[in-house]
Amino acid sequence: NGELIVHVIQLVGGILVAVAPEYISYVIFRLIVGSTTSGVFLVAYVIALEMVGPKKRLVAGVGCQLFFTTGYIMTGGFAYFITDWRKLQIALTIPSFAFLFYWWFIPESARWLLTKGKVEEAKDLLHKASKENGMEIPRDTIDCLLNDSIESKLSCEQASLFDLFRYPNLRRKSILLFFNWLVNSGTYYGLSWNASNLGGNDYINFVVLGLVEVPAYTFLIFTLDRWGRKIILCGCMIVSGVALLLTMAVPQDNTTAIVTLAMIGKLAITSSYGAIYIFTAEQFPTVVRNVGLGACSTFARIGGIIAPYINHLALIWTPFPLVIFGTSALLGGMASMMLPETLDKKLPETIRDGELFGKKDTWKSKKEKKRQQIQQLDVQQLNDVESIKPLKALENGVHDSKQNG
Q: Where are the domains of the chain?
A: 1-106, 113-155, 163-360, 362-404
Residue 168 has a pLDDT of 93
User: How much is the average pLDDT of 193-212?
Assistant: 80
Model confidence pLDDT, tens digit, residues 390-403: 555 555 655 555 55
- The three-state secondary structure class of 3 is helix
Alpha-helix residue ranges (DSSP H) falling in 212-335: 213-227, 229-245, 255-283, 289-311, 320-335
Model confidence pLDDT, tens digit, residues 216-242: 999 998 998 899 999 999 999 999 999
- Residue 263's H or E segment, with its range, is helix 255-283
In whole angstroms, give the CA distance from residue 285 to residue 354. Answer: 5
Model confidence pLDDT, tens digit, residues 333-349: 999 999 999 988 888 88
Model confidence pLDDT, tens digit, residues 372-383: 556 565 556 555
Instruction: Single out the residue of 154, 156, 135 nearest to residue 288, CA to CA.
Output: 156
Residue 356 has a pLDDT of 92
Residue 97 has pLDDT above 70, yes or no: yes
Between 85-93 and 2-19, two packed helices, what is the crossing angle to 10 degrees?
Answer: 160
> 163-360, what's its fold?
Growth Hormone; Chain: A; (1.20.1250)
For 197, other C-beta atoms within 10 Å of its C-beta total: 20
Strand segments (E) across 242-299: none
- Please, is 331 exposed, middle or buried when counting C-beta atoms within 10 Å of its C-beta (0-12, 13-18, 19+)? middle
Model confidence pLDDT, tens digit, residues 50-72: 777 777 878 888 888 899 899 98
In whole angstroms, give the CA distance from residue 73 to residue 206. Answer: 8
Residue 363 has a pLDDT of 45
- Over pLDDT 70: what percentage of the chain? 83
- Higher model confidence: residue 246 or residue 153? 246
Rounded mean pLDDT of the chain?
A: 83
Q: What are the backbone dihedrals phi and psi of residue 186, each rounded to the nearest 5 degrees, phi first?
A: -60, -45
CA atoms within 13 A on the CB side of 292: 30
CA atoms within 13 A on the CB side of 19: 6
In whole angstroms, give the CA distance from residue 338 to residue 361. Answer: 8
Residue 166 has pLDDT above 80, yes or no: yes
Residue 158 has a pLDDT of 67
In whole angstroms, give the CA distance from residue 212 to residue 268. Answer: 9
pLDDT band at 273 (very low <50, low <70, confident <90, very high): very high
